[in-house]
């Protein structure tokens, strides 16, 4: 397993930014980390990269614990933080040289810098000052620095924010290119981003994981189902997770629930109600795509 996050919570003072988050990412996967602003995406990424500690729970990268092996982990991870902090007064090549020195690349430094310049399409810009570059080229510099030490895992926090449509396509292509060899986790609040780059999507809201699904169902245009159910009596909502085929659920209040699944599970809901002695007052099915589900789960 490339990234393992187990029951991770993070408190900033009294504010809970992450609430018992668990997921795993396999080697070579490109996973989109999707959620509205403030959902906890950056916080999770900073914890995975060892920049801030979690309040509780376990995080491992390639079998190493972020709590005890954070230096080793930094060597295995390439990280493009949100807002891409760069030294604007430095020249592109000078900056890459500086980052390569931090990773102690030694003799392979010059070759590696040349490879990164080539991969990220910085050939014509390599002798320019970073301050003079467009936002798209600055992102390329950010990705080049994240890759310079040939990490196995790449963590990109909102890599395409602020790019124009052409730059967007170029950076997405670059991410896909890089993703052929590496594990990539990228955060975004843009749905299309995930559709364009990722094989799998994790959706977070208010510090909790609200969905984990394969993106294939979108490209196949296979739609997920949402069933709205109203029960006659109150019961502990956690019981709903016993329904066969359930993906997720949300309480709509007054014993009403919105239940998400990949298939039609009305029969399973009915069987669940019978097994728990619950009476169903109403049940409606709707077909929804990822965008609807995102909206449904994160508002």
| Nearest alpha-carbon partner for 20 in 7, 3, 4, 10 | 7
Binding-residue pattern over the window 255 to 284 for ligand ADP, x denoting contact by CB under 6 A: ------------------------------
Q: How far is CA 188 from CA 54, 90, 195, in A?
A: 21, 28, 11
- Binding window for ligand ADP (CB under 6 A); candidates: 30-38, 110-118, 219-227, 259-267: 30-38
* Binding test (CB under 6 A) with ligand ADP, winner from 6, 12, 181, 192: 12
Q: Which is nearer to ligand ADP, 122 or 146 (CB)?
A: 146
Q: Whole-number minimum distance, CB 138 to ligand ADP, in Å?
A: 20
* Binding test (CB under 6 A) with ligand ADP, winner from 21, 25, 32, 42: 42
Q: Whole-number minimum distance, CB 290 to ligand ADP, in Å?
A: 18
Q: Whole-number minimum distance, CB 265 to ligand ADP, in Å?
A: 30
The two structure tokens encoding residue 108? 């392979």
Q: Are 219 and 267 in contact (CB under 8 A)?
A: no
Q: How far apart are CA 40 and CA 23, in angstroms?
A: 14
State the DSSP H helix or E strand holding residue 23, giving kind and residue range, or none if neither. strand 15-25
Contacts of 264 (CB under 8 A, 6+ apart): 225, 285
Is 84 a binder of ligand ADP (CB under 6 A)? no
* Binding test (CB under 6 A) with ligand ADP, winner from 22, 27, 38, 118: 38
Is 49 a binder of ligand ADP (CB under 6 A)? no
Q: How far apart are CA 55 and CA 70, in angstroms?
A: 16
Q: Are 9 and 57 in contact (CB under 8 A)?
A: yes
Q: Which residues partner with 11 through β-bridges?
A: 16
- Binding window for ligand ADP (CB under 6 A); candidates: 40-48, 136-144, 215-223, 257-265: 40-48
Q: Whole-number minimum distance, CB 259 to ligand ADP, in Å?
A: 26
Q: Which is nearer to ligand ADP, 203 or 269 (CB)?
A: 203
Is 17 a binder of ligand ADP (CB under 6 A)? yes
Q: How far apart are CA 177 and CA 184, in angstroms?
A: 11
Is 40 a binder of ligand ADP (CB under 6 A)? yes
Is 188 a binder of ligand ADP (CB under 6 A)? no
Is 39 a binder of ligand ADP (CB under 6 A)? yes
Is 178 a binder of ligand ADP (CB under 6 A)? no
Q: Which is nearer to ligand ADP, 70 or 161 (CB)?
A: 161
| Nearest alpha-carbon partner for 131 in 99, 87, 164 | 87
Q: Whole-number minimum distance, CB 39 to ligand ADP, in Å?
A: 4
Q: Are 35 and 19 in contact (CB under 8 A)?
A: no
Q: Which is nearer to ligand ADP, 15 or 166 (CB)?
A: 15
Q: Are 130 and 88 in contact (CB under 8 A)?
A: yes
Q: How far apart are CA 241 and CA 264, in angstroms?
A: 16
The two structure tokens encoding residue 145? 């620095």
- List residues binding ligand ADP (CB under 6 A): 12, 15, 17, 35, 37-43
């Amino acid at each position: 397993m490339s990234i393992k996050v187990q029951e991770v919570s993070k408190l900033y003072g009294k504010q809970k930014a992450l609430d018992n988050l668990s997921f795993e990412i396999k080697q070579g996967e490109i996973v989109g980390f999707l959620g509205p602003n403030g959902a906890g995406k950056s916080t999770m990424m900073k914890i995975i990269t060892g920049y801030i500690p979690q309040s509780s729970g376990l995080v491992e990268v390639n079998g190493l614990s972020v709590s005890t092996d954070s230096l080793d982990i930094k060597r295995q991870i390439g990280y493009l933080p949100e807002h891409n902090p760069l030294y604007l007064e430095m020249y592109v090549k000078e900056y890459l040289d500086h980052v390569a020195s931090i990773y102690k690349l030694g003799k392979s430094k010059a070759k590696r810098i040349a490879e990164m310049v080539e991969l990220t399409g910085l050939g014509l810009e390599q002798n320019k000052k970073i301050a003079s570059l467009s936002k798209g080229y600055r992102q390329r510099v950010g990705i080049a620095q994240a890759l310079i030490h040939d990490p196995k895992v790449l963590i990109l926090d909102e890599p395409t924010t602020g790019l124009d449509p052409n730059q967007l396509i170029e950076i997405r292509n670059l991410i896909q290119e890089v993703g052929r060899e590496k594990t990539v986790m990228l955060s975004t609040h843009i749905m299309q981003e995930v559709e364009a780059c990722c094989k799998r999507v994790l959706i977070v809201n208010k510090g909790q994981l609200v969905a984990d699904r394969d993106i294939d169902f979108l490209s196949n245009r296979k739609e997920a189902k949402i069933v709205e159910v109203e029960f006659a009596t109150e019961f502990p909502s956690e019981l709903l997770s016993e329904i066969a085929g359930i993906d997720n659920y949300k309480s709509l209040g007054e014993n009403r629930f919105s239940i998400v699944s990949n298939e039609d599970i009305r029969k399973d809901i009915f069987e669940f109600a019978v097994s728990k002695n619950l009476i169903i007052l109403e049940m409606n099915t709707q077909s929804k795509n990822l965008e609807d589900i995102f909206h449904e789960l994160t508002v």
